[in-house]
Amino acid sequence: MNEQTIIGIIGSGAMGTGIAQVAAIAGHKVVLSDANGEALGRAKANLITTLIKLQEKGKINNAGQILENISYTQFREPFTELAPCGLIIEAVVERLDVKHNVFKNLEAVVSNDCVLATNTSSLSVTSIAAACQNPSRVIGLHFFNPAPLMALVEIIPALQTEANLVPETKELMLKWGKTPVITKDTPGFIVNRVARPYYGEALRIYEEGIADMATIDWAMTEIGKFRMGPFALMDYIGHDVNYVVTETVFQSFFYDPRYKPSFSQKRLLEAGWLGRKSGKGFYNYADSNTMPLPKKDLDLGLQIFERILAMLINEAIDALHLNIANAADLEIAMTKGVNYPKGLLQWCDEWGAANCLAKLDSLYHEYHEDRYRASTLLRKQAIGNKKIV
Ligand SMILES: NC(=O)c1ccc[n+]([C@@H]2O[C@H](COP(=O)([O-])OP(=O)(O)OC[C@H]3O[C@@H](n4cnc5c(N)ncnc54)[C@H](O)[C@@H]3O)[C@@H](O)[C@H]2O)c1
């Protein structure tokens, strides 16, 4: 794959449009396709506006050429416009049956050496690949939202993926100015797995009445230096997305209590209180509303911060233990994919594996829940406070 490779994108929603922009700016001809003609029209209008703005700001100087390099086609038989593509990235709705159909249709029209990628955030790439006659050409390329701004791309080889596709797609992502990491095809890949306790443990602390959400958000931003507190962040992501990812990860991990979803968040979703986008979630975003103030109690804040941090570190170190990714990629994923102030493994080294383990063990003794079991690797590192990175 090189600059001459024509890139096909299926699905012209938030992700497909963003990925099309990235590929076109990197110099490729791009064919953007969607089953829905109106969605395609919106994507075209958005891309024109965005590229003109980027040119006005001096970030690019060839908006006209880039726009000319993007063509639009409805995703329907005979799919002819997609035939010359050398790489197709699928970004349609997150449904296995729909993705299976898309891959079957694509395989019937593209050349034998066309690479087929999926941008799925929670489905098994191996299962998507299984829909193809030649599953060895299928790989996961998980971009983050918004794709033009977020540097991270998780590369996920399926069980069937040809080995050389990993370095090939990695090189291409580097050319696109992205920061690729490689991860095993397991639920949530790196980011959506390791980040779960940021939400889950915050919700648990809130549900138990240990602190209110404003105080939890304050603890994580003021003491932890995270960019957004968990409740503000869940509202920002939207509960339709954030809750569904949690539930999918929980189910995919055979109901491991570590990933158990929360009723408080489920009820918000049921009420249609999706967060910022609907004007109300955990917080009320109406202009007339006064936001709740945190209780700035440093002891309480530290207790909240250390509890959530210990759970996050445990998740990261367990991912390392299970070879989900190497240490360097785990650190890159959490700092570039969700902008954590520090890699979690480095954080473990600085805090001390023994301190982190003591926090988890005290939670385990308090609750007697499997949710708080410490990773074997954390236990090993805690002996003599061995460093990881
Ligand atoms: N939104 C995110 O934050 C995010 C981040 C990373 C990955 N993803 C993944 O990216 C994919 C797309 O997400 P999105 O947020 O862009 O969704 P979206 O709803 O904004 O867009 C999906 C698009 O796919 C089109 N589509 C649906 N079925 C189709 C079909 N059979 N053939 C062709 N087009 C079809 C729809 O018309 C729509 O325009 C999903 O797999 C999602 O899990 C989303």
What sign results for the dihedral spanned by CA atoms 61, 62, 63, 64?
A: positive
Q: Are residues 132 and 205 in the same domain?
A: no
Domain assignment of residue 291, given as a range: 192-382
- 142 is known as an active-site residue: yes
Pocket flag, ligand 1, residue 88 (CB < 6 Å): no
- pLDDT on residue 122: 87
Q: Are residues 274 and 297 in the same domain?
A: yes
Q: Of the candidates 292, 388, 300, which has an alpha carbon nearest to the alpha carbon of residue 344?
A: 388
Q: Are residues 176 and 225 in the same domain?
A: no
Residue 133 is part of a domain; what is its CATH number? 3.40.50.720
In a domain, 154, yes or no: yes
- 192 is known as an active-site residue: yes
Give start and end residues of each alpha helix (H) in the chain: 14-25, 37-56, 63-68, 96-109, 125-129, 165-175, 191-194, 196-207, 213-218, 230-237, 239-252, 263-271, 298-321, 327-332, 344-351, 353-367, 376-382
Q: Are residues 106 and 12 in the same domain?
A: yes
In a domain, 77, yes or no: yes
Residue of 38, 40, 75, 92 best suited for mutating to test ligand 1, as the one with most atoms within 8 Å of CB: 92
Which of the listed residues 182, 200, 220 is the one where a domain comes to its end? 182
Which of the listed residues 125, 160, 182 is the one where a domain comes to its end? 182
For residue range 175-194, list pLDDT tens digits in order: 999 999 999 999 999 999 99
In a domain, 389, yes or no: no
Pocket flag, ligand 1, residue 86 (CB < 6 Å): no
Q: Are residues 196 and 336 in the same domain?
A: yes
Q: Are residues 178 and 56 in the same domain?
A: yes
In a domain, 203, yes or no: yes
In a domain, 1, yes or no: no
Which of the listed residues 152, 182, 212 is the one where a domain comes to its end? 182
Q: Are residues 155 and 11 in the same domain?
A: yes
Cβ–Cβ under 8 Å, residues 325 and 184: yes
Residue 207 is part of a domain; what is its CATH number? 1.10.1040.50
Q: Are residues 199 and 94 in the same domain?
A: no
Pocket flag, ligand 1, residue 34 (CB < 6 Å): yes
- pLDDT on residue 272: 97
Q: Are residues 107 and 224 in the same domain?
A: no
- pLDDT on residue 31: 98
Q: Are residues 260 and 309 in the same domain?
A: yes
The number of domains in the chain is 2
In a domain, 360, yes or no: yes
In a domain, 344, yes or no: yes
Distance 295 CA to ligand 1 centre (A): 40
Q: Which of 142, 262, 314, 375 is catalytic?
A: 142
**What stretches in the chain show pLDDT beneath 70?**
none
Amino acid identity of residue 281, one-letter, is G
Q: Are residues 173 and 205 in the same domain?
A: no
Q: Is the pTM of this model over 0.85?
A: yes
Q: Are residues 147 and 273 in the same domain?
A: no
In a domain, 305, yes or no: yes
Distance 14 CA to ligand 1 centre (A): 7
- pLDDT on residue 274: 96
